[in-house]
Structure 1
Amino acid sequence: MSDVMESRAVELTVSGKKRIFDIDDPKLPDWADKDEIESGDFPYKEKMDKGEYEKTIEALQIELVKMQFWMQDKGKRVMAVFEGRDAAGKGGSIFATRAYLNPRYARVVALPKPSDIERGQWYFQRYVEHFPTTGEFVMFDRSWYNRAGVEPVMGFCTPDQYEHFLKQVPRFEEMLVDDGIFLFKFWLNIGQEMQIKRFHDRRHDPLKVWKLSPMDIAALTKWDDYTEKRDRMLKETHTKDAPWTIIKANDKRRARINLIRHILLSLDYDGRDLKVIGDIDGKILGQGPNFLK
């Protein structure tokens, strides 16, 4: 595994303190291991009980299957954008949502970096071709919001392109909703210590090491830059037509359950069982940028 990632120790500012973090050291630093679950103002001290989670998630997945039958019967189009920092749990949340849906009508879109041709097109163009047709549920594992986060932070777009995007995207999304697409925008929020722990887990797990890239290591030292871009993105693109749903995701189990609940409670599908779905945990899920303050 030592050949997979070049060793690199970095100096980080974590919770106001200078820390040295070497991702190649098999031992996670005590300061990260101790504070990870409550980092980023997470409201719980422990993860949700595994048995309770498995029972709850299965019941919600049954409701998702019912929802999909309704979508196909009524020709509904649903699209969900999953955004968040690296290691926030986007992929796992998508997997839990899609696990028992008919894959012919539930697609995941995770686009690579744009080609030369795509870079010369309208920025949204390569995403539009993946939008749902009648009866489809499309989940974007990262989306056009790359231009509001990773691209400006890492220098992959110009300042003018960044500003132009923030101006265009509310109008773009208003058109989608006006055309009848149900659009969900999820921001999965994690604390800094939790991100460090998850990166470390990936680095030292032979089944997960492929998830870690040099870009992830570079992002470790840009936490504040990403925070600044996140806050502006949420402020300028949280609209009545396309609101941001914020999920505190240090505990992946609570995050997935509340995310799926939000989808189910937002769509009035045939046979919806509100008792089975349950109530949103207001400590975990909220709307708009003020939820993170």
Structure 2
Amino acid sequence: MVAFDLKLENNRILPETSATRHDVPAFRGIEYLAYRTELRVLRRQLLALQEWVVANGHRVAIVLEGRDAAGKGSIASAITHYLNPSYSGIISQGIPTAQEMRNWLGHHYKLMPEPGEMLVYDRSWYSRALIQPAMGYCTMRQYHYFLSKVNDWERELVDEGVTFIKLYLSVSRESQDLRFRIRQDSDLQYWKYSANDRKVAERWQLLTYFKERMFAVTSTDYAPWIIIESDNKQQARLNAIHYILTRFEFEGKDLRPEVIYQAPDMDMLTDMIVDGVLFTGLNRDQVGILERILIHE
């Protein structure tokens, strides 16, 4: 059994969280044109990071966890979109087999990056700490066993040369509900919503409890949890990539504000794709209206 440090908060017992937030003030409330400009700057540096990882044989595992509709898939795509696919990729977790459930960490050990690789995990072994116990997909014995073993497992992988970047995408209940409605009404994204999503959403408080426990037990100095606010997906993408870049020292890295925050021409006409529809020749006010939808895509 794992021992937890607990506190009483608003008449609820919760573990002490040791996760930290990465929130760049300049990214808050960013407008679409500025977002596109800054994302391009960060992606160029992400490519420089990949070249350094490949040249030095580093192994980088980027974990994305969060509730349904938190934006894990879109951030995974934002990270890898322009990377060399020979040395990067997205590992998406489907429904595990019975054998994988029994050998949970052993199964994920086989999915670790090889030297020179940067892999993004759209959900990960931490499903055993979050969705599985909350929904009854694993036993509580399996859950406690996982928590008692995962830190040593990650420590051994760090000793083998793996760098863990564990990002938790935090979405509010209101934004999750809105994204579910957008998905239900979209003829291109309807498949992203299922009856099971609603069941998971109904267990909001229980998932919150398991999330806080996960932070308290598994956020270590060698593999810390970083919280990325994701009510605004554009802001979340920028913060996620920015944090990844802060973790390494490589040629071409330059996160000075005057380099990252390049002001675009806000009066120029622009194009946007929203729910698969192309809008062209938009002015700043029109972009602002469509942006309210785009930050949730």
Q: Which residue of 2 aligns with 1:267?
A: 248
Q: Would you say 1:90 and 2:72 are equivalent positions?
A: yes
Say if 2:126 is the partner of 1:145: yes
- Comparing 168-177 with 75-84, greater Cα deviation is found at 168-177
Is 1:226 the counterpart of 2:194 in the alignment?
no
2:186 is aligned, of 202, 205, 209, to: 205
Offset from partner CA, 1:228-273 (integer Å, 9 cap, x none): 1111111111111110011111111111111111111111112212
Residue 1 of structure 2 is aligned to residue 57 of structure 1: no
User: 1:86-109 deviations in whole A, cap 9, x for unaligned?
Assistant: 000111111111111011111110
Cα displacement (A) at 1:214: 1.9
Which ranges in structure 2 are unaligned for 5 or more consecutive residues?
1-24, 262-297
Separation in 2, partners of 1:240, 1:129: 24
Number of equivalenced pairs: 234
TM-score between both structures, scaled by the size of structure 1: 0.77
TM-superposed CA distance for 1:118, in Å, is 2.3
Provide the C-alpha distance between the structure 1 equivalents of 2:105 and 2:151, rounded to a whole number of angstroms.
12
Q: Residue 182 of structure 1 corresponds to which residue in structure 2?
A: 163
Q: Could you list the runs of 5+ residues in structure 1 that have no partner in the other structure?
A: 1-42, 279-293
- The higher-RCO structure (CA 8 Å, 6+ apart) is 2
Q: Which amino acid aligns with 2:203?
A: K
Secondary structure at 1:140 match in 2: strand
Equivalent pair of 1:185/1:244 in contact (CA under 8 Å): yes
Map of 1:239 onto structure 2 = 220
RMSD, aligned CA: 1.6
Q: Is the 8 A contact 1:47 1:253 kept in 2?
A: no
> Which residue, out of 112, 119, 127, partners 2:101?
119
Amino acid across the alignment from 2:240:
L
Amino acid at match of 1:77: R
Letter aligned with residue 115 of structure 1: T
Secondary structure of the 1:104 match is: helix
Any idea what the Cα deviations from partners look like across 1:57-91, whole Å, max 9, x if unmatched? 00000001111111111111111000000000111
Q: 2:85 is paired with a residue of what secondary structure?
A: coil
Residue 72 of structure 1, aligned match among 54, 59, 63 = 54
1:195 to 153, 163, 176: 176
* SS of residue paired to 2:38: helix
> Percent same amino acid among aligned pairs?
37
2:152 aligned partner: 171
